[in-house]
Structure 1
Amino acid sequence: MNMLIAEDDRIQRENLKKMLGEIDKSLIIYEAEDKDEALKISRENIIDIFYIDIVLKNSSGLDLSIEIRKIYKYEFSWIIFLTTHVEYITQAFKEVHCYDYILKPYDKKDLINMSKKIILRQGINTVIKRKYVVFNLGDGIFIKVYIDEIIFIEVYIRTCTVHTKRAKYEVKGLSLKQSLTLINSDYIIQCHKSFAVNINYIIKIEKSTIKSYKIFFENYEENVILSYKYKDVIMKSFKNNGVDILPLSNGGSDNGYN
């Protein structure tokens, strides 16, 4: 399981990490001291439990949590606040729907007991929620791909290329419509006659021509075309999600796509 500690005090962060590490040596614990670092880690990984300090460097834990909730995969994730400011907790429950809070200085027994309960419950939920699809690559080769690891899909001359965090896979004879039906995910959306994107990995949308845009992804070099036909659908998915929409760049081209 993956945990993220967002705490700007290094000593307190290390103490909390040490306590959590005693629960299970296999736990992967990420650390961040501010909002930007925490969001970067959250987008690049799948975090199961968040421990967030109410007061962060250059931000607040509430602001960070609100941004985390806007990321589709964390809409219902476990968030625990770390605080000495009890007066903020009511706001945290109302605005962020956090699970609980831990007062500083940390009580080791309370921290471990609370975390163990979440780990047990999260383990059950993960089995139920994490979905995958099996693609036939031909020559007797079948590959299992977790849907939440798909970045985008492109189809060219009846070859479907599935771009994932791990690798690219080519599936012959599969149309875009067929691939979307097979995947059956509400966060992988068609953005062009040849492309469909995972909205959770988009970092920027930039105007390319009068009738098209380019979509860029977090930590992935390739980009795709967003055509005018699908613009409203994609833009609606990102309402209030903080995606950058940039003006038309000089010398933009639609690369032959419509």
Structure 2
Amino acid sequence: MITILIAGDHIADNERISASIIGGTELTTCVICARSGIEAQRVIESRIEPIDLFIVSIKLRDQSGYRLAEFIRKDHRYRDTPILFVTNSSPSLAGFSEMTTYQSYKKHHYISLPITRIDVQSKLGLYLEQIISNQGKRNSAERAVQIKHSKGETLLVVQEILFAEVQNKNCRIITLSGCYEVLNKGLKDIIFMISDDYFLRCHKSFALNIRQLKGIEKAERRIWNASFPSAQEPCLISSTYLPKIMEVYRDFSRTSMTFPAE
């Protein structure tokens, strides 16, 4: 799934851009719209799953689009993430050296006002192949992450991670080969460290690996148990996260599986 954040004051322009994006690709696309720079910053700071493309209006109600771009680049996750600036001026015109500088980088370009479907789709096309390639690398089952835990350091293969649980400000990572306790790390930190689209939060205290999920059983009114191979410890799924878990699992497996009714 491709995730795109649009930051712009005008609802109509945001809707045209969103419709052009969704209509221009067969890939599953999540479009998030923010109507100010501050709102966009809050989305970026609170979001665990990575954003693949930013579309930013040059003139926001509370700050310039360039300032928001600087904020985005300070987050090391987004140093190379493409940014499309929305402007009613051409970067080729005199007096727009700042925009020309931005465009000189491969990760920056612009969309001209008024919004047209062909312009949006052509600019998206510049980065689509790279976005898909980056997602493939991020979600590779063979990818490994280095973790520091209570007994030292270990290189964990993402494929072998079953789930993670936060306990008393520490986080336990349960894998096919054993359990590792990471000190002074919250669940959000672990999800960010693993950085895999199939490793998802499923409860306020748990995150699970969709690749290893074998089944779900209802435990209580709003709680389900996830089952994994070679794991006897419980991993809980709350009703808040169950729909997302179901959606991603189906997308991953492309096979039928019986899930409990919500």
Question: Which digits, 9 at most, give the CA deviation of each residue in 1:4-39, with x for residues without a partner?
Answer: 111111111111111111013621111001112112
1:121 to 104, 108, 130: 130
Are 1:11 and 2:17 matched, yes or no? no
Structure 1 pair 200–104 and aligned structure 2 pair: CA distance change class (3 A): farther
Structure 2: tracts of 5 or more residues without a match: 148-159, 193-202, 206-262
Amino acid in the other structure paired with 2:99: I
Question: Which digits, 9 at most, give the CA deviation of each residue in 1:125-155, with x for residues without a partner?
Answer: 22124556699xxxxxx6446xxx9999965
- What is the Cα deviation at residue 66 of structure 1? 0.5
**TM-score, scaled relative to structure 1:** 0.53
SS at 2:180 equivalent: coil
Question: Residues 4 and 50 of structure 1 are in contact (CA less than 8 Å); yes or no, is this contact kept in structure 2?
Answer: yes
- Structure with the larger strand share: 1
Give, in whole Å, the separation in 2 of the partners of 1:90 and 1:152: 50
Matched with 1:138 is: none
Matched with 2:197 is: none
RMSD: 3.8
1:195 to 173, 184, 199: 184
- What is the Cα deviation at residue 103 of structure 1? 1.2
SS at 1:51 equivalent: strand
Pairwise mapping of residues 20-31 of structure 1 onto structure 2 (< 5 A)?
Answer: 20-24=21-25, 26-31=28-33
Give, in whole Å, the separation in 1 of the partners of 2:166 and 2:70: 23
Query: Number of matched residues?
Result: 167
Structure 1: tracts of 5 or more residues without a match: 136-141, 163-168, 177-193, 202-219, 223-258
Percent identical pairs in the alignment equals 20
**TM-score, scaled relative to structure 2:** 0.52
Pairwise mapping of residues 37-186 of structure 1 onto structure 2 (< 5 A)?
Answer: 37-43=39-45, 44=47, 45-85=49-89, 86=91, 87=96, 88-93=98-103, 98-130=107-139, 131=143, 143-144=161-162, 155=170, 161-162=172-173, 174=180, 176=182
Give, in whole Å, the separation in 2 of the partners of 1:18 and 1:134: 40
Question: Residues 6 and 56 of structure 2 are in contact (CA less than 8 Å); yes or no, is this contact kept in structure 1?
Answer: yes
Amino acid in the other structure paired with 1:121: Q
Give, in whole Å, the separation in 1 of the partners of 2:32 and 2:132: 18
SS at 1:17 equivalent: helix
Matched with 2:153 is: none
